[in-house]
Amino acid sequence: AQSVTQLGSHVSVSEGALVLLRCNYSSSVPPYLFWYVQYPNQGLQLLLKYTSAATLVKGINGFEAEFKKSETSFHLTKPSAHMSDAAEYFCAVGDTDKLIFGTGTRLQVFP
């Protein structure tokens, strides 16, 4: 069965610092991978997705993620954090008929 593991339930960074949120996947077939963001009291919004076209995927709000098959990873990064990036971030793997989510990482950004 496919699954994702998010390392670190909470990450804190200073404004302007690098953001790195970790996600490792388990899949017996080439995976479809996603990052979603959830702002307080809102639904989930798609940040970016990997569908095997390119290993470096650019998303909205300056985020990007790199698919590394050798490490079974799909970490999310942003060069410079902004206060508005404070939210919860979910990694997910796509099956043929459903999405399976990780447990989430809450990002705090300090001024």
Q: Which residues contact another protein by CB under 8 A? A: 6, 9, 32, 34, 36, 42-46, 49, 51, 90, 94-104
Which CB sits closer to another protein, 5 or 17? 5
Q: What is the DSSP letter of 11?
A: E
* Minimum separation from the CB atom of position 43 to another protein (A): 4
Closest distance between another protein and the C-beta of residue 16, in Å? 29
For another protein, the closer CB: 73 or 105? 105
Contact 7, 106 (CB under 8 A): no
Residue closer to another protein by CB (options 14, 42) is 42
Exposed / middle / buried, residue 110 (Cβ in 10 Å: 0-12, 13-18, 19+) = exposed
Least distance to another protein, CB of residue 95, Å = 6
Using the minimum distance from each CB to another protein, give the nearer residue, 19 or 91.
Answer: 91
Return the SS3 of 83: helix
- Least distance to another protein from the beta carbon of 62, Å? 19
Task: Spell 34-56 as b/e; 16+ CB within 10 A means b.
Answer: bbbbeeeeeebeebbbbeeeeee
